Structure 1
Amino acid sequence: MRVLRGRDPRPAADREHTSTLLADAGDGTPGLRVWTPPRQFAFGRRDARDPGFERAKRLAADRGFEPIERDVGGRAVAYPGDALAFAHAVPLGDRGGPGSIADRYERATETLLEALRGLGADVSPGEPPESFCPGDHSVRVADGGKIAGIAQRVRGDAALVAGCLVVTRAGAREIADATAAVYDALGVPFDSNTVGSVAAAGGPERPNSVVRALEDAFVDGPWGDGDPRIDRIDRDG
């Protein structure tokens, strides 16, 4: 499996690397990227159509989060600088990929749970009511706050399974504060007490440790081949 590693701070970098992963998956090569996005608020397509969108972007910027728009579905997500994003591109159809959206969601959730439990985190599937980026495919601290959400983007020859993951307690507090303001502007119900973190679940408070655990879990998981082929993408900007 092709694994992208490194820092690329360019504004268009995430879309560029995601497009590369999808193109390679369409040709039969699965790929993965797990990274720490810069401080930003990523808005989904539904958010961009909301009448409160411009106000929501201003509120995010006022709190030091750069507003951006992302291709996958789901509601807006805050990245405080120490949260993680992951993107896993898998071939479809006659190239051997899993056949249904539901299958991919289930396998991605199980892979994420396995990786976090291996780090000592007490986590379970699901989310409390009025969480950030609400959805059916989430991971939470056991009996606690949400720490991850998963979304998909599907095209004819490949699918992208992507998600966000809150790692630190400090990051969770920043996400809760900024999301409360942004979701209020968008008219989305949100309870700031529902934001958890890997650290709050008993796992590490070091994003790099979680990055490697996620990489290993996906490379060795149901879509991987156990062989990480590392491609460095480091750039100065």
Structure 2
Amino acid sequence: MTSRLLVSGSTGGAVTELVIPALLLRTPNAAWSQLVHIYVPQSPTVAFSGRDLRSPGITKATELALEAGFEPVVRSPGGRMVAYDSGAVVIDHLDATTDIRQAGRSTFAANADSHVRVLRELGDVDARIGEVDGEYCPGEFSINVEGDTKVVGSAQRVTATGSLFSTVVQVAVSDRVRAVITDVSEALGYDLRQSSIAGLADYAPALTADEVAAAFVTDYRDRLDMTDGQLPAEIVAHASTATPDGTSPFHVDDWTRAHPVLA
């Protein structure tokens, strides 16, 4: 198992896109040692974490997401809620060689260093590493612009079969994304400074999500010596059978445990 596979492009709706990395993380005898999937999401998504589910406001938060036209999904990695639509870029980096001893701050730091370098090379963006006051899904290794607004956040999941490091890059933040982050954060009881919500295009208006995705594809291909490829067809087909009930957040890990990929 030595291959490093790079995949680009969206695979479907919100549930399918979030189920795929969870299935890949649990796939036995994977043919790759590392797999990076970079895509522009097709569907407006509110990605909750397991932590969010413990909030007494989760029912109200789910209702607000649905009313705003966002699919509520409980993602596999940790952190807190993040919302995005087709103005964002998602990066899922799976590593079958990582175990719990390699998880934590060093992984976040290394990824933040790489990501901030890519953003600085894209144009006139003063990208920096660090949490800003009142940001959503706060984290030590968030990426901000000018020390004021958050534009990139990451979360990690580590299992016995490897790790998943997932990143959301906000490029063009629509009014509906700003509104749903604000409303859902309030319902969950999280402090939020609304002016901390931003995208790269607020500073470099010509940037598009497709352009940013392409820059990250080039970076991962060159930096990790990855080979372009496709997601395993059986994984995509299996993930596409996952169906939300339309009322409660779709729980990715519960579904993948109940519907494993057979060896």
TM more than 0.5: yes
Q: Distance in 2 between matches of 1:25 and 1:61?
A: 38
Quote the offset at 1:204 in angstroms. 4.2
The aligned residue for residue 13 of structure 1 is 16
Quote the offset at 1:32 in angstroms. 0.4
From 98, 103, 107, the counterpart of 1:104:
107
From 119, 122, 145, the counterpart of 2:122:
119
Q: Distance in 2 between matches of 1:134 and 1:67?
A: 20
Q: Distance in 2 between matches of 1:60 and 1:106?
A: 31
SS class of match (2:69): coil
CA contact (8 A) 2:6 2:37 kept: yes
The aligned residue for residue 219 of structure 1 is 221
Give, as a single letter, the amino acid of the residue that structure 2 aligns with 1:180: T
Q: 1:193 to 1:39 in 2, by over 3 A?
A: same
Q: 1:44 to 1:229 in 2, by over 3 A?
A: same
SS class of match (2:190): coil
Quote the offset at 1:194 in angstroms. 0.3
Q: 1:93 to 1:148 in 2, by over 3 A?
A: closer
Q: Distance in 1 between matches of 2:130 and 2:182?
A: 20
SS class of match (2:212): helix
Q: 1:179 to 1:104 in 2, by over 3 A?
A: same
Deviates further, 34-43 or 212-221: 212-221
CA contact (8 A) 1:219 1:228 kept: yes
Quote the offset at 1:75 in angstroms. 1.0
CA contact (8 A) 1:126 1:137 kept: yes
From 189, 193, 198, the counterpart of 2:195:
193
In the alignment, structure 1 segments of 5+ residues that lack a partner are: none
TM-score where L is the length of structure 1: 0.86
Q: 1:123 to 1:55 in 2, by over 3 A?
A: same
CA contact (8 A) 2:22 2:76 kept: no
SS class of match (1:33): strand
The aligned residue for residue 159 of structure 2 is 155
Q: Distance in 2 between matches of 1:133 and 1:41?
A: 12
Quote the offset at 1:41 in angstroms. 0.8
Q: Distance in 1 between matches of 2:23 and 2:176?
A: 31
Give, as a single letter, the amino acid of the residue that structure 1 aligns with 2:20: H
Q: Distance in 1 between matches of 2:206 and 2:131?
A: 21
In the alignment, structure 2 segments of 5+ residues that lack a partner are: 241-263
Alignment of 1:59-78 (within 5 A): 59-78=64-83
SS class of match (2:55): coil
Pair 1:143-2:142 in alignment: no
Quote the offset at 1:99 in angstroms. 3.0
Give, as a single letter, the amino acid of the residue that structure 2 aligns with 1:161: F
SS class of match (1:199): helix
From 33, 47, 56, the counterpart of 2:52:
47
TM-score where L is the length of structure 2: 0.78
Deviations 1:147-170 (A, max 9, x none): 0111111123411111111101x4
The aligned residue for residue 128 of structure 1 is 132
Q: Distance in 1 between matches of 2:87 and 2:227?
A: 24
The aligned residue for residue 176 of structure 1 is 178
